[in-house]
Homo-oligomer: A and B are copies of this chain.
Amino acid sequence: MNKEEELLKSHISRHNLKVTKERSAVLRAFLASARHITAEELYRKMKDENSSVGLATIYRTLNLFCESGLAEQRQFGDGQARYELVYNVSHHDHLICQECKRIIEFQNEEIEVLQEKVAKKNHFKIFSHKLELYGLCSDCSKVQAETK
């Protein structure tokens, strides 16, 4: 049993929930898929692999992952929630290419410190934050330069 499975099961037992084959299957598929996956994408992926779990259950299970601290939901502005593993993954923010939809992760401790400074100045207590940089990745910048 891997760390992620352990975390989920501990959350499940702590809340009088039940371990089901669907939940295990969704966890397996989730851990095996690319970061920042949508519910619909995960649903299709599982269907393609002949392990069909209802879409409603995918949504329910992804929410469960978030409640357990295993995953977090992201909104990158395209109207679909994306989910990513955050357990045993260090905090990071995102660069989002508006052309190819690529998502690049980055960490910047200086920015984090400055955020706290801003909060302090405003007597504000930060619980979470969202920093997203939208634009063009290097590949797409090149293409655009060539085209014109």
Verify B115–A133 contact, CB threshold 8 A.
yes
| Copies of this chain per assembly | 2
Interface centre among A75, A122, A125, A132, by most B CB within 10 Å? A125
Verify A124–B108 contact, CB threshold 8 A.
no
Distance of A77 from chain B, by nearest CB (Å): 7
Point out the residues of chain B lying under 8 angstroms from A135, CB to CB: 119, 124-128
**How far does the alpha carbon of A129 sit from the alpha carbon of B133 in the complex, in Å?**
4
The stretch that binds B, out of A15-23, A63-71, A83-91, A136-144, is A136-144
Q: Tell me which of B77, B95, B111 contacts A114 (CB under 8 A).
A: B111
Q: Interface digits, A37-68 against B, CB 8 Å rule (1 contact, 0 not)?
A: 00000000000000000000000000000000
**Which residues of A from 97 to 117 have beta carbons under 8 Å from B?**
97-98, 104, 106, 108, 110-111, 114-115
Verify B131–A130 contact, CB threshold 8 A.
yes
Closest B-chain residue to A139, C-beta based? B123
Verify B98–A118 contact, CB threshold 8 A.
no
Point out the residues of chain B lying under 8 angstroms from A119, CB to CB: 95, 133, 135
Verify B131–A125 contact, CB threshold 8 A.
no
Known: A124-B141, A129-B132. 5 other contacts (CB 8 A): A95-B124, A97-B124, A123-B141, A127-B136, A129-B133
